[in-house]
Amino acid sequence: MEKENLLRTGFYGVVGLLGGSLGQLFGGFDTLFWALLTCSIIDYFSGGAVAIIFKNSPKTETGGAKSRIGFKGLVKKIFIYMLVVVAVQMDIVLKANGFIRNAVIIGFMANEILSIIENVGLMGINLPKPFVDAVDILKKKSEGKEEGDNNAK
């Protein structure tokens, strides 16, 4: 019984230490962070569904899944979170009170949402026209193109 309590206490201690350290690295586990995490997970699994179930991935010749491409996507997601950590460090140094972190998270969330929408389209789900129009506007803005701007980069 005493050994069980010792193991339980040790486990909870490690979980608490790990959670506290990660929370500090990411600037806290607030609503914004959880929203990015949720969008990242949905994007990863929707991309997998496009490749595995629908065999309609634009990233392979056959449209099917390739473990290398899935792993590459996972590595990209990891680096998104590493950039959030970098943004937190920039906030600390510049005393920006979370502004840089929040801007980085919102920017990555926008990319994740666009990717989810593309994946849904590749699944053959019809999106409402206003939704498609909004996505087109976001894409153009992210590429530096504005409506009627013929000199866009």
d(CA 135, CA 31): 23
pLDDT of residue 85: 97
pLDDT of residue 138: 66
pTM of the model: 0.79
Supply angle C-alpha 75, 105, 142, rounded to 5. 85
Candidate ranges 29-38, 58-67, 105-114; pick with highest mean pLDDT: 29-38
Residue 148 has pLDDT above 90, yes or no: no
Helices (H) and strands (E) in the chain, counts: 5, 0
pLDDT of residue 43: 97
pLDDT tens by residue, 43-95: 999 999 999 999 999 998 899 999 999 999 999 999 999 999 999 999 999 99
Residue 151 has pLDDT above 50, yes or no: no
d(CA 48, CA 70): 7
Band (152; pLDDT cuts 50, 70, 90): very low
Q: What percent of the chain has pLDDT over 70?
A: 90
